[in-house]
Chain A
């Protein structure tokens, strides 16, 4: 997604300014897409592999769900922090980033659906 960064905000505006660039917003949106996708991806991985399923048991009473969601949240928040630092004063190609984020969100949604999650079992 590095190519989506088109220009640096010349004002270096802070968050309260009217000329705030779209970079921080794009970072939040793309990271949320990544987070949603990770929920679906880890759910599928835990379903397909007994080893991963076992690794994902962070809390025994809750089972693999605890690891699936905690890992996805860690990836999401890390992605948000990294993207925010990289894009906080930049103007980025939001259209491209929006499409990527919505695709990731849609994939995340689909991967959580059991008939797809368990395919081809």
Chain B
């Protein structure tokens, strides 16, 4: 069982950072919606407050790791220009997609949207983490602030979802492959 270096980085970017961010989003939304509502009866302990602070900071870090690995490690491999006369475009995913009318929209719509919209997630989540760091359990006393933070978090989930969906579909239609091969396991 082998995997190429580029494929491994794609996995780290998408399945590691990106998917973990998407999973974590639902937990943060539920916690902030349920526990920090002004009408919520239960008292938020210092431990719970610290937990959500750390949780949101980790989420913001995950979002940044996702977009930075995507933009600066994987995207250059994706958009690499083949030398003149190249007929096998397997190592040039963008050109491979653009060479076929049935796949060109995965680039012109999918990648063009994904590469920009994904950045709304770290911006939104860093704001949410920053607000939580400053206000902590006092956020219960600022319902308008809590509501707008929740709205930004929903948009960050949407942005990450769009990026994740197109990332998966792009990699299905034109995988980012190449580089040294890593042998994970010997077959029998």
| A-to-B contact residues, CB < 8 Å | 15, 18, 20, 22, 24-26, 28-29, 31-32, 35-36, 39-40, 43, 59, 61-63, 65-66, 68-69, 72-73, 76, 80, 94-95, 98, 101-102, 105, 108-109, 112-115, 117
Question: Would you call the interface of chain B mostly helix, strand, loop, or mixed?
Answer: helix
A114: chain B residues within 8 A (beta carbon): 108-109, 112-113
A to B CB contacts below 8 Å, 19 in the list? A18-B141, A28-B131, A29-B152, A31-B127, A36-B155, A62-B75, A65-B116, A69-B71, A73-B123, A80-B130, A101-B152, A102-B148, A105-B120, A105-B124, A109-B117, A112-B113, A112-B116, A115-B109, A117-B116
Q: Are A72 and B119 in contact (CB under 8 A)?
A: yes
Whole-angstrom CA separation of A112 from B119 in the bound complex: 10
Q: Are A105 and B152 in contact (CB under 8 A)?
A: yes
Q: Is B102's beta carbon under 8 Å from chain A?
A: no
Q: Are A39 and B120 in contact (CB under 8 A)?
A: yes
Q: Is B11's beta carbon under 8 Å from chain A?
A: no
Among residues 116 to 149 in chain B, which have CB atoms less than 8 Å away from a CB atom of chain A? 116-117, 119-120, 123-124, 126-127, 130-131, 134-135, 138, 141-142, 144-145, 147-149
Given known pairs A24-B134, A113-B113, A114-B113, the reply for A108 and B120 (CB within 8 Å) is: yes
Q: Are A65 and B123 in contact (CB under 8 A)?
A: no
Q: Are B113 and A94 in contact (CB under 8 A)?
A: no
A76: chain B residues within 8 A (beta carbon): 123
Q: Are B152 and A32 in contact (CB under 8 A)?
A: yes
The count of chain B contact residues (Cβ–Cβ below 8 Å) is 36
Question: How many inter-chain contacts with C-beta < 8 Å in the A-B complex?
Answer: 107
Least distance between B16 CB and chain A CB atoms (Å) = 20
Least distance between B157 CB and chain A CB atoms (Å) = 12
Q: Closest chain A residue to B155 by CB distance?
A: A105
Whole-angstrom CA separation of A81 from B109 in the bound complex: 35
Given known pairs A68-B116, A102-B148, A117-B112, the reply for A20 and B134 (CB within 8 Å) is: yes
Q: Are A39 and B116 in contact (CB under 8 A)?
A: yes
A24, A25, A29, A109: which has the most chain B beta carbons within 10 Å?
A25
Q: Are B71 and A62 in contact (CB under 8 A)?
A: yes
B158: chain A residues within 8 A (beta carbon): 109
Whole-angstrom CA separation of A35 from B112 in the bound complex: 19
A68: chain B residues within 8 A (beta carbon): 116
Instruction: Convert B65-88 into 0s and 1s, putting 1 for each residue whose CB lies closer than 8 angstroms to a CB of A.
Output: 001000110011001000000000
